[in-house]
Structure 1
């Protein structure tokens, strides 16, 4: 496994079947540099061992206790800074969501008129919120976009499409901390009123000691029979193994250069968090999306590893 500092996109291709993640198979190792990416690349013991060795070195220079307290005490501050610095340079719209999560297409398609409420947690500037809203043909759709960064919520609301949303559905947006200890729900939201919750690269920003409260708040918001659509970082992803000195906050939990936090999960951890003995959800699907990205010019291999899941609240 060759580790590169090149930035690798977290976006999906958009033509894959749900939980299939593409059909670009590497059948012969000598063909690896013939294209830019390969799907379903199985990791051998060599790749896992090298990833573990690189991660073990991170423990030699963890984040200092003073800085650790600083980052963990006010994480919203660093997301505010992130959105202020990136107002003109956000990620592409996540149009792939309807491919990977077909229920989003079903409830927003022409002819579907059932009252439906969608909550996107970590709405950012609206890269998921607006593609859903703009293509929606369900006259009874409500969509909530929430983020614990006020700057992000202000950006979302400043979009001209937000004011024109009446024809596309009812849109709400507010500052909300998924892990708030009071159990408060987003502004204007009733308990057990949400049909679909979207969490894309959001849960990883929470400290592990916040997971339990976050799950309680998700349970409070979601209707019986409602579902959570989940995508986040997997263990040994390129982003994890390339962290250098002074970035390790805790086991598999890091601080990025911009001050935002990120955790790297395994399938087993997700299953325990959302569907364990004391957890309220049922596993519909958990899958690993392994991708080998290739820099042909530099002859580098970059292993990406994401987790995708659907959890349902029992009826």
Structure 2
């Protein structure tokens, strides 16, 4: 079904958000984009479609919004107007001080800025209860010591460790289902998973570039060190180690985090993460799409490179196309399961404002 196209002006003076807060507070109804991705249209989470532009302010959000050619051209023109990169020395400053800016952000906002991402279980059922195909308790709970755990061969690991002198034991080594969130912030993905998924074989890892954010996760009263491990990790530092061996993770989650990296470092970062997945493991992503409202409201003097910007607080953000993300995952050896664009029209009925949001959601699998 094609819904009537309409034209509503772009609003640039929307409140600033970090890691897609506005995305998390609305129903994430995803639709197939107009690109030739080949994905079948999926069932809608939200089914509210605007067919009469006069009714735009009757609801807070509309699904499956199609842009007119005029809207698309206006967005491209706006981006081109602001495409004046800052001098190299300023770009290097934002790169070298990235950790400082994110620590400052979490110091200021702590837990007051964020809401838990409960929409995750609808969009990514791999995170929900009953997602573990084994459904077996931890070996230490059952009193047995399985040497084969859903694709991860403990015996092989121990034999290898004996030869190398390393240890095969690691946090979560007895788990039968392991999830890693990269860029965990203050835990708005981790804690809903722990509260919702009571699988005794589950272990959740979470890491963030900001030591301040990780400390906020660890001091949260819901943090359970028996089921979760939070640690500091710079995703772009591909030489740094992880607390788990390669080939041990069932799921890796990245929610509005890849966009914070310098574009030149994205491929190596994704490829490094892919090595952590088990055969059949999946990488889940939701991030900013090209011509999202957040991109269109950037003023001149904020552009670092094409489609890459710096916010007023020094944190950075990139705006993707589906094709760019597909290339990153495919180059890392992952197979496409899902690559969708979510175009939504959000409405502030009190102020009579309309705001276009564009997000991309991906799911890529490591070959079995």
TM-score calculated relative to the size of structure 2: 0.78
Where does structure 1 differ by over 6 angstroms across 4 or more consecutive aligned residues? none
Q: Secondary structure at the match of 2:280?
A: strand
1:168-206 residue CA offsets vs partner (Å, 9 max, x unmatched): xx2111111122131x332x2111111000100011011
Which position in structure 1 is the counterpart of 2:147?
none
Distance change in 2, residues 1:286/1:299 (3 Å): same
1:204-246 residue CA offsets vs partner (Å, 9 max, x unmatched): 0111110121022112211111001110000000000000021
Asked if residue 58 in structure 1 is aligned to residue 119 in structure 2, the reply is: no
Alignment match of 1:206 (pick from 253, 261, 268): 261
What are structure 2's unaligned runs of at least 5 residues? 1-8, 31-41, 138-175
C-alpha distance in 2 between matches for 1:128 and 1:245: 34
What are structure 1's unaligned runs of at least 5 residues? none
Alignment match of 2:310 (pick from 250, 255, 267): 255
Alignment match of 1:133 (pick from 176, 194, 198): 194
1:248-285 residue CA offsets vs partner (Å, 9 max, x unmatched): 0000000011111100001111111112xx43100000
C-alpha distance in 1 between matches for 2:52 and 2:86: 41
Alignment match of 1:219 (pick from 244, 267, 274): 274
Asked if residue 4 in structure 1 is aligned to residue 12 in structure 2, the reply is: yes
Alignment match of 2:284 (pick from 213, 229, 236): 229
Q: Secondary structure at the match of 1:310?
A: strand
- Is the 1:185–1:217 contact (alpha carbons within 8 Å) kept by the matching residues of 2? no
C-alpha distance in 2 between matches for 1:255 and 1:177: 19
Q: How many angstroms does 1:93 deviate by? A: 0.4
C-alpha distance in 1 between matches for 2:235 and 2:126: 23
Which moves more between the two structures, 65-74 or 121-130? Answer: 65-74
Alignment match of 1:30 (pick from 29, 54, 57): 54
Asked if residue 178 in structure 1 is aligned to residue 239 in structure 2, the reply is: no
C-alpha distance in 1 between matches for 2:43 and 2:341: 8
TM-score calculated relative to the size of structure 1: 0.91
Q: How many angstroms does 1:2 deviate by? A: 2.4
The structure with the largest alpha-carbon Rg is 2
C-alpha distance in 1 between matches for 2:253 and 2:279: 16
1:262-315 residue CA offsets vs partner (Å, 9 max, x unmatched): 00001111111112xx43100000111111112334432211000001010111
Query: Paired residues, what number?
Result: 306
Q: How many angstroms does 1:59 deviate by? A: 2.4
